[in-house]
Amino acid sequence: MTDQAKVRRHAERIRELVASVVRSQIKDPRLGMITITDARITADLRDATVFYTVLGDAAAQASTAAALESAKGMLRSTVGKALGLRHSPTLTFVLDDVQDQVKHIDDLLAAARTADAEVQRLAAKSSYAGDAQPYRVEEDDEDAEGAPAEDEDDDEPRTGERR
């Protein structure tokens, strides 16, 4: 079983190394405004996934992905030498679409706020269908004095006789 702290340290080190090499050693003109956001490595330390974001449109993202693919060998050898592992991990680059997800969540929250405002506006104009307190029972004058009330279920008036 591999130590999880060791895996996290290696992943953090890979992120730092790839960011440093991309910034200083890769001179590919296709490389756009790139930020290395995260790196994850498998427990056996053989495969690493590097997440990145690119400032720009889809064309800039595609050209940056091509530049990273062409520099993958140099990045892998640099990472392997720096980590000192028996096997250099293979690198896979994945476009991190956090900004798109943030925009989508913001749009959903704005739609929810609009729907809540509409419900509040409709609730302000509405009134109760019946009484404001439908369970309140008015007391009769006879009931308040202690006299028995007439049952509505009996068709005959009470005469005081027992049957």
Burial-class residue 157 by CB neighbours within 10 Å (0-12, 13-18, 19+). exposed
pLDDT tens column, 69-79: 999 999 999 99
Q: Which amino acid appears at position 84 of this protein?
A: G
pLDDT at 133: 72
pTM for this entry: 0.63
pLDDT at 162: 58
Instruction: Give the residues across from 55 on adjacent strands.
Output: 33
Ordered mean pLDDT values, 10 residues apiece, the chain (163 residues): 84 93 87 89 92 89 91 91 88 87 93 94 81 72 55 56 55
Which tokens belong to 99? 């900004």
pLDDT at 12: 94
Q: Where are the alpha helices (DSSP H) in the chain?
A: 4-24, 58-70, 72-83, 98-125, 141-145
pLDDT at 156: 58
pLDDT tens column, 47-61: 999 999 998 888 988
Parallel, antiparallel, or unpaired for β 90-95 and 47-55?
parallel
